[in-house]
Structure 1
Amino acid sequence: MSLHIDEREDRVIATLDRPEKRNAIDQDMIDALHALCATLEENPRTLILTGSNGVFAAGADIAQLRDRTAADARKGINAMAFIRIRELPMPVIAAIDGYALGGGAELAYAADIRIATPTLKIGNPETGLGIIAAAGATWRLPEIVGEARASELLLTGRTLGADEALAWGLVSAVHPADEILDAANTIADRVAANDPLATQHTKRALRAAPAEHPAIEFELQAELFESASKYQRMTDFLERRARR
């Protein structure tokens, strides 16, 4: 299997695992990601994405890309999988060790939270291969780092190291390689401590188009205001404060 799945009660850890190809994303991996998304759409849990052997994903599988046609391009093979990951109900955390290039970078961009190791190399060299970054970079990267920086990265094809990616806000933290998965699980623990529906509604509001605000927040909050969990959590908070 090119995608190793570790299912837990409140999270799933998915490890890209094609070490002989530096975890390059091929059709089998895309199919496995779709199957994983189906599971998480049915039973929402936080998803941690990571890679094996010190690499997140060195890109899409070039041997497969070379043989793809215009009809394949119009199917958005990688893009549709990454869109589905982005739209998962619960947060997606990318724990990025080493290379995250091309399609690997675009998979990372689809996450809600990105953390990395000091060996991070992230970017989109697609134009050097005669194609564009068509699986999310051209619209997600400007949202993450701003239009000017996204334009520089995509038009030059250069990569960022960990320090620059952190300074640009492309990743939110840098951890040693032997601590990156623990750090991702710590984030997942914080998510798990919160109300699941409130977390899902927060993600929906974050992803909403500008024209949807503030109406979407009002409707999502209205549902939460009627929930038993909201009443119980606030009651517990007030009782803890009263005991101090």
Structure 2
Amino acid sequence: MSKKEKKETITKTKSPFKDKALLEKEIADFANKFKVTVVNQSKRISDYFEMSCFNYIVRFYQLHGYDVKVQNLQSKQYRYKCSTSGIQSNFSHFLATIKFEKKEYNFEIQHNLAVQSSHDKELFTTPDISIIKAGKVKTSTTYYDSNKRFSFANNIDVMSFCEVKQFNPFPELLFNFMGVVNELEKDIMINNAINHKPKHIAPSLMISGKPNKQTTRIKLSLEKRYCINIIYDLFYTGTYTFSKTNLSNLRTKGKLQ
């Protein structure tokens, strides 16, 4: 093998990137299962990865027995919300329904929805994916200096959230995620056994790239201390990670309020 071939092999093994065409096909195949088409709204590989991770979370709920349905199609197409701008009513989402102890529970899997802080009602941040009680997206015209509309969910209505990062993992990225966990789910910082039913995925950091020895050590330590998931190498192991076989390895939590 030539030096050039060796370099290409190493790059392919360690790169947090994946061919856009493969991600597009994965997203189209997922949409086909729900008999919908997807609005092609981005050329950025990071957006396609974020859409793919959103689909993995939908799959997680399916595997946990939820009935999931597409909601709010735009011109008969599924429209992902790949940025923090815009209001939720202009984008699609999924409804996840499950029966528990003879009662039906309905949740929404939302994309780039602002979430209220668990410390201060006047503060908000926007995780890439959030799971909220159905029908609880709110719109305000007083958040900004102008009358621009702002979509958000109150903290009490949020079941869990996920952050998506298209990087090879590094320590600061992992510790920054814990800052978001503290802001949105402060109880997790003091309670490592939030396992009520129905099940929800624990707050999760979903990363495209492969870990090294240092970031593997940090992942193990943080997951031991807190009810979270730090998930690596999703470009190449996403289908397995969110499969029925691996389901028990993903931490779960939930709230009934």
TM over 0.5: no
TM norm structure 2: 0.30
**Structure number with higher helix proportion:** 1
- TM-score, length basis structure 1: 0.31
Larger strand fraction of residues: 2
